[in-house]
Amino acid sequence: MSDAPRLILVDLDGTLVGLDGVVSPRNSSVLKRAVTAGCRVVVATGRPARIVTPLRKSLGHAIALCYNGAIVLDLATGNILEAHLLDGPVFQDAVERVRASGYTFVVAVEGMPDIGIRAETGFREGFPIPRGTLAELCSVGIVKGLVRVDADQFEAVWDAFSDGFRDTLEVTRSGVEGLIEVSAAGVSKGGVIAGLAASWGIDAADAIAFGDMPNDLEMFRWAGRSVAMGNAEPEVKLAATEVGAHHDEDAVAQVLERWF
């Protein structure tokens, strides 16, 4: 890609934000310069909208894909542009069927932004999270399901969800140890971005993506160019067209300053 990208796709944790959890002035400045130059900026994260919104001053006029794309948020206005919900009965059925195979785990769900997280007993005890039964959790609109599994069963439970329900669920993880993230089928960073880019008339060849975790892989596969952070997981580095610096070294800015 010799010309400047028309679309920048950037993950947050482990990518755009530093070890202090904030967007550095250097990263913030280059994204704002890119927007001024006419480039679209999309922040793509597994984070809920309520945690992304406070970063809007650092990101300028950007679109945020929250919950791995289940919610598309205009950071400039705070408006929700799209919502791709996970069907509660479908998620409940999957959880019950995996548990029937003998696996033990606890579940939480992220509701629409005005609902927040709700969980079964045993999920992050000590935190003031509303509790409920599985049926109660699945009775209202869900943007993302969360499955917390002990290390000794993680791979087996991962396989049970990802292989057994590939037609109805999108299964991924984004860095929290022992946590599986579940969305509606087709809801991934790459899938949602592809739709947005088409509506903007931007080809994948004109996009550059930055990330560090497996939930960034669909985004990498779609974009014409992809940059894995130096701290990225091995499979993410292998999928990237370039491996950059550590995320705490303004790695995103180091690449984007070639053009902006």
Q: What is the pLDDT of residue 114?
A: 62
Considering 122-136, 174-188, 199-213, the range whose residues carry the highest mean pLDDT is 199-213
State which of 183, 210, 243 marks the end of a domain.
Answer: 183
Q: What is the pLDDT of residue 54?
A: 81
* Measured distance between the N- and C-terminal CA atoms of the chain, rounded to whole angstroms: 14
CA atoms of 188 and 182, how far apart (whole Å): 10
CA atoms of 15 and 9, how far apart (whole Å): 11
Q: What is the pLDDT of residue 56?
A: 81
Residue 174 has pLDDT above 80, yes or no: no
Q: Kindly report the CATH number assigned to the domain that includes residue 149.
A: 3.30.1240.10
- Average pLDDT on 81-89 reads 93
Domain membership of residue 147 as a residue range: 88-183
Considering only CA atoms, give the Rg of the chain: 18
Residue 2 has pLDDT above 60, yes or no: no
Instruction: Mark whether 65 and 193 lie in a shared domain.
Output: yes
Q: What is the pLDDT of residue 38?
A: 94
Q: Which helix (H) or strand (E) holds 249?
A: none
State which of 183, 213, 232 marks the end of a domain.
Answer: 183
Q: What is the pLDDT of residue 47?
A: 86
Tell me the three state secondary structure of residue 81.
strand
Q: What is the pLDDT of residue 197?
A: 96
Residue 80 has pLDDT above 50, yes or no: yes
- Average pLDDT on 85-99 reads 96
pTM summary value: 0.86
Q: 233 in a domain, yes or no?
A: yes
- CA-nearest of 195, 191, 220 to 208 is 220
State which of 150, 183, 216 marks the end of a domain.
Answer: 183
Instruction: Mark whether 97 and 179 lie in a shared domain.
Output: yes
CA atoms of 66 and 89, how far apart (whole Å): 22
**For residue 1, what pLDDT band results from cuts at 50, 70 and 90?**
very low
Instruction: Mark whether 64 and 116 lie in a shared domain.
Output: no
Q: What is the pLDDT of residue 176?
A: 72
